[in-house]
Amino acid sequence: MFESNEVFENILFLSFGPSVRLKQAGLIAAGNVNQGVLLETSDGPFFLKTNFEETKDIFEKEADGLDIMRANCPLKIPEVHHFGQEPGFNFILMEWIAPDKPNFTYWQELGLGLAQMHMATQNDFGYKASNYIASIPQQNQPEHSWSEFFIQNRLEPLIGKAYYESLIDLDFFKKFQQIYPVLEDFFPKGKPALLHGDLWSGNIMRGKNGVPVLIDPAVYFGHREVDLAFSRMFGPFEEEFYEAYETVFPLEPGFIERVPVYNLYPLLVHLLLFGKSYLPAIEKTVSKLLS
């Protein structure tokens, strides 16, 4: 989808009134779910993200996630100007972050900033409302126990959906559920931490002067090791990131061994979005937990 200038002008009008006029628009990104458009205007550049998702609140939830991160994190978080629907699609209009080369302290800044965000807490694991990870609904019913939250809000809904969509058979569905008792005492204790929730390299930008910028959150209050585990799923971040994080908020021993278990959740997300190529990694972790 690449909409006409008339549509872009209408979005600008809804956002700012008649004072901001469109000069030109250019498609800059087209992913599996969203497309990104750079709007050059009389008031400078803006970033417009759109999609065809039937879930009309998907960008409302994204805006909420950006807001709570901005309130609790020293890192740069884009400002949201407006979100809503045009006929046939959803949109969110945000501050334009011009990409730049990373500075020399990029990874250290990212680690320190994430550690500070993880210090934001609340009484229970979960969030005030359900939201999304990519286009997958993410339920956030509060639980006092992290293992109970992880099982009931993260693993069980997605493994059930995978079975319903014939991505796994009944035998593996039942085998997967056998890990739940194992997980009850598997994780170290910790207060609920404000998480980005989808922390991989594609959701971090390098902004002006090379500073790290967090985008595309799937926020909730969870175990802080979740973000750090996710950061290792597609190849780890630079070691300076982990070292800086631990100077502020040291991890409990055995974190690396726990990484594959936390990453069952994003692997299930990818299984649902992209198919069975992600199943072997899930099967490997399940088998190891049950061995």
The answer to whether residue 101 is domain-embedded is: no
What would the pLDDT profile of 139-156 be if each residue is shown by its tens digit? 999 999 999 999 999 999
The answer to whether residue 44 is domain-embedded is: yes
Same structural domain, 117 and 208: yes
Which amino acid, residue 239? Answer: E
Q: Please, which residues bridge with residue 83 across strands?
A: 92
**Domain membership of residue 30 as a residue range:** 5-95
Diameter of the chain measured on Cα atoms? 65
Of 95, 119, 141, which one is at a domain's C-terminal end?
Answer: 95
Burial of 289 (0-12, 13-18, 19+ CB in 10 A): middle
Same structural domain, 24 and 63: yes
User: Please, which residues have CB within 8 angstroms of residue 253's CB and are 6 or more apart in sequence?
Assistant: none
Q: Six-digit token pair at 140? A: 């956030």
Q: Domain of 244: which CATH number?
A: 3.90.1200.10
Distant-in-sequence contacts of 43-47, Cβ < 8 A, 24+ apart: 43/16, 43/19, 44/96, 45/96, 45/98, 46/12, 46/81, 46/93, 46/94, 46/95, 46/96, 47/78, 47/93, 47/94, 47/95, 47/96, 47/97
Same structural domain, 197 and 285: yes
Q: Six-digit token pair at 138? A: 């993410």
3-class SS of residue 5 = helix
Rg (C-alpha) for the chain, rounded Å, is 20
Distance from C-alpha of 105 to C-alpha of 287, rounded to nearest angstrom: 40
Same structural domain, 75 and 195: no
> At residue 2, does pLDDT exceed 80?
no
How many domains does the structure of the chain reveal? 2
Give the pLDDT of residue 3.
62
What would the pLDDT profile of 241-291 be if each residue is shown by its tens digit? 999 999 999 999 999 999 999 999 999 999 999 999 999 999 999 999 999
Give the pLDDT of residue 183.
98
> At residue 176, does pLDDT exceed 60?
yes
Same structural domain, 75 and 182: no
Same structural domain, 177 and 274: yes
What would the pLDDT profile of 179-218 be if each residue is shown by its tens digit? 999 999 999 999 999 999 999 999 999 998 899 999 999 9
Same structural domain, 166 and 45: no
Same structural domain, 259 and 233: yes
In the chain, % of residues over pLDDT 90: 87
Same structural domain, 129 and 55: no
Same structural domain, 146 and 61: no
Of 49, 71, 95, which one is at a domain's C-terminal end?
Answer: 95
**Strands, E, within the chain: which ranges?**
22-30, 34-41, 44-51, 80-86, 89-95, 131-133, 136-138, 193-195, 204-206, 212-214, 220-222
The one catalytic residue among 64, 198, 216, 227: 198
For the question of residue 57 being annotated catalytic, the response is: no
Tally Cβ neighbours within 10 Å of residue 270.
Answer: 20
Same structural domain, 118 and 18: no
What would the pLDDT profile of 33-65 be if each residue is shown by its tens digit? 789 999 999 999 999 999 888 888 999 999 999
> At residue 1, does pLDDT exceed 70?
no
3-class SS of residue 200 = coil
Helix (H) or strand (E) holding 173: helix 170-177
C-alpha 266: how far from its chain's center?
10
Burial of 119 (0-12, 13-18, 19+ CB in 10 A): middle
The answer to whether residue 112 is domain-embedded is: yes
The answer to whether residue 100 is domain-embedded is: no
Same structural domain, 111 and 203: yes
Angle CA 132–99–2, to nearest 5: 60
The answer to whether residue 162 is domain-embedded is: yes
Q: What is the DSSP letter of 191?
A: -
